[in-house]
Structure 1
Amino acid sequence: MTAFEPNSIRSYSQEDVQQILQLAIASHAENINREFSYNELLEIAGELEISPDILKLAERDWRSQQSEVQRRQVFNLYRQGRLKKRLGNYAIVNVFFILVDLLSGGGLTWSRYILLFCGFLVGLDIWNTLLIKGEEYEKAFQRWNRNHQIKQTISSVVNKCVKALQA
């Protein structure tokens, strides 16, 4: 399609329509500087001949996707925090051993072996935390998510028991 074709001849694929409308809506929202209400969403869907039932299903799917994205962000923050803690522990332990080695009077002798071994372990930890992708990442996320949900369930049961005992 060229820019010189008359309006009646132009045609677009479904993907093109979605992208054009996304850009138009984003531009419209930036100009107005506000969010759309659910009624406005219903109105837009009606103009596009999308039934309210399909819109509700799409909104439910969207909420589910947003929830998944948020859980993954929390998981990534958890992994980064765990790595920072391990790096801090590594630094503290190695500084201690280096000081002991230096104070024993022989310079750096045996502590460098501990330093190298711990450095190797930290390197593996960094590799496994920051560089895993694909199926390994997905397995780690699923394992964390399952454990996180179990902890939330146990916490809510304990809180209900505590509230019941207080009443």
Structure 2
Amino acid sequence: MTYDSEDVQKILEIALTRKQEGEFSREQLLEMASELGISSDILETTEKKWFAEQEEERSLHTFNTFRRRGFWTHFVSFLAVNLFLIILNFITSPSYFWAIFPVLGWGLGLFFHWWGVYQSKSEDYEIAFQKWHSQI
């Protein structure tokens, strides 16, 4: 039976998880790499790349959380103000529903805010992330 590199990686990953629940030391990592014929230079380069990817992932998660909190703050404001306007409309002039205009206008803005926050596969998202990342 033969295995491709992806299968080998998955099998070893599962075996290592079963062998030692918990954490590995750096020395153990170096020892495992040398047993697999991986040079310390390749391991170090890969390790640095992995740390950079982990940091990028954490930054993206923090950025998404920041943007979503901003959206939900906007949403709560929208509900509170427009509910007040609708109540005021029914009290002052129940025959004419003028509150629909701010609800629709602000609702359109809220929709675009939602779209911008939850659409994370666009160039605008990348630009916003880079700008935010440079400010922190």
After TM superposition, the score normalised by the length of structure 1 is 0.72
Q: Which residue of 2 aligns with 1:116?
A: 104
Deviations 1:55-93 (A, max 9, x none): 222111111111001001101101110111100111122
Q: Quote the Cα distance in structure 2 between the aligned partners of 1:134 and 1:70.
A: 19
Displacement of 1:132 in angstroms is 3.9
Decide whether the 8 Å contact of 1:101 with 1:107 is kept in 2: no
Larger Rg: 1
Q: Structure 1 residue aligned with 2:2, among 7, 11, 16?
A: 11
Specify every segment of 5 or more residues in structure 1 that has no aligned partner in the other structure, as ranges. 1-9, 149-167
SS in 1 for 2:3: coil
Q: Which residue of 1 aligns with 2:34?
A: 46
- What RMSD, in angstroms, separates the aligned Cα atoms of the two structures? 1.9
Q: Structure 2 residue aligned with 1:73, among 61, 67, 75?
A: 61
Q: Structure 2 residue aligned with 1:27, among 18, 34, 40?
A: 18
Q: Quote the Cα distance in structure 2 between the aligned partners of 1:145 and 1:108.
A: 48
SS in 2 for 1:84: helix
Displacement of 1:134 in angstroms is 4.0
Summarize the alignment of residues 58-97 of structure 1 with structure 2, pairs less than 5 Å apart. 58-97=46-85
Please tell me the residue identity of whatever aligns with 1:22. Answer: E
Aligned length: 136
After TM superposition, the score normalised by the length of structure 2 is 0.86
Q: Quote the Cα distance in structure 2 between the aligned partners of 1:117 and 1:101.
A: 16
Please tell me the residue identity of whatever aligns with 2:3. Answer: Y
Please tell me the residue identity of whatever aligns with 2:23. Answer: E
Considering Cα pairs closer than 8 Å and 6+ residues apart, tell me whether 1 or 2 has the greater RCO.
2
Q: Does 2:118 align with 1:145?
A: no
Q: Quote the Cα distance in structure 1 between the aligned partners of 2:74 and 2:125.
A: 19
Deviations 1:13-65 (A, max 9, x none): 33332222222223333xxx321111111110111122222222211111111
Decide whether the 8 Å contact of 1:75 with 1:141 is kept in 2: yes
